[in-house]
Homo-oligomer: A and B are copies of this chain.
Amino acid sequence: MTSPDGAKPRLYFEDLHAGQRFTGSAACTVSEAEIKAFAAEFDPQPFHLDAEAGRSTVFGGLVASGWHTAALTMRLILQGGPALAGGSVGLGAELDWLKPVKPGDTLRVQGEVLTTTPSRSRPDRGRVTMRVETCNQHGDVVQVCISKILVPRRPASHDA
C-alpha cells in the first residue's frame, strides 16, 4: 500500500472494490492507566475504572470501555489502513464487541471493503462500507466494526 517514495497513494472511490483487503496494521498495547483515563473521562463505570471493583462484575476485572476500543481502532486504521482521498469521513458504524480488552492487550486491525455505492445525487462522491476486525495478541477478534465512509471520486482532470 505504499508508493515508491514511501508515501501511501491517496485512494479515490474508483480505487476501491468489494473484497479488497487491508492487512499489516500498526499495533498498539493498551495500558491499565490508559483504560482508566479514558473511562474516567467518558465511561466511568466500576469495571472500567478499578480492577478490584471489576472483580464482582460480569467482566471479572478491569476491561477497556468498548468506546475506547472503537477509538483505538480508528487510530490503527489511520496508521495502517488505506489512505483515503479526503480523509476517513465516517457516516456511521455498526459495532460488535465480542471479547473484552484487558490491560496489556495488544491490538491490531484488518479490513475488507464490503460494498461501494456511487452517490445518486452527488456525482463527486460515493459511499463505501468496510468491515474492520480488531484483534488482540492471541488472534481473538475483540471488535467488529462495519463502517460507512464517504469517499470522493477521482476528479476528471486528475491523472491517477
Residues of A within 8 A of B (CB): 38, 41-47, 57-59, 65-68, 70-72, 74-75, 78, 86-97, 150
Residues A67 and B66 in contact, CB atoms below 8 Å apart: no
Residues B44 and A75 in contact, CB atoms below 8 Å apart: yes
Pairs A-B, 6 closest by C-beta atoms: A42-B71, A92-B96, A67-B71, A45-B87, A94-B94, A93-B95
Closest to A54 in B: B87
Residues A91 and B97 in contact, CB atoms below 8 Å apart: yes
> Complex formed: what's the CA distance from A92 to B97 in Å?
5
> Complex formed: what's the CA distance from A47 to B136 in Å?
30
Chain B hits for A75, CB < 8 A: 41-44
